[in-house]
Structure 1
């Protein structure tokens, strides 16, 4: 039963082909999550990606996943496609669709999730700038919009560690007082 049940796996040891397949499935799951109305597909592809990352044998064919929890017939077809071509046509097609591009743009702002983005799309709003101009942003979203460049910038790990150490030291000092 090794590798059959996700909960019985010993960790997330990632083999090269398995990681490639899992990455493609996670990207597809992310697209479905952003779409909002596709939560079950998001869940299914996320679960399959996790199972594949935990699979203890390097994948060379989708048939190896037969009987693995979370890897049904449709998932195995996607796995076969990734193993053959290195990518998923469905993901590439969805990433280029106008709706997914608009959803990604809108949800990139702090405070805007899939539900709000879908509502705005239904009103014809295709970008965060259009939402701003239409006065649709609440205070949290407005803060996210104003600071979007700063929020998108990655902070070096060393800087995060220094900030963390300062906060911990301040809390210890406060608790001793």
Structure 2
């Protein structure tokens, strides 16, 4: 069974190539054109990605994150969110890799099976890198007015955080 599971992607790719050849499509040329388009997209996305990475670095290195955590500590206690998880909640909308680093630190300090570790695990899996995603994808297609996307994404993340606390309390 393991062999079949590992073979699914190569089989699907092979079927696509065979289907294309059967219908007279120049498969290799189409692949090369797609790769050229992909590189063009990477070039368009790079400035937005670089700006976001610099902003995350400045926010973290300037200790603004620590100040913000101290400011919101009373509020997060009301919903039951451990203050130790606040850095993850703050970094996750900005940077997936930064959030992974914070998440790893939380698990090393408090353990994966602790209340803090369980809440952090659910938050990590159920929230999105909102600002990174908006910056990269809207920037790539040159959309400047994101309208309600940001507020909907923030509301979805807040819902995920509240549900993480609720689920851990109910199930563990």
Q: Pick the TM interval, shorter chain.
A: under 0.3
Name whichever structure is richer in helix by fraction. 2
- If the length of structure 1 is used for normalisation, what is the TM-score? 0.25
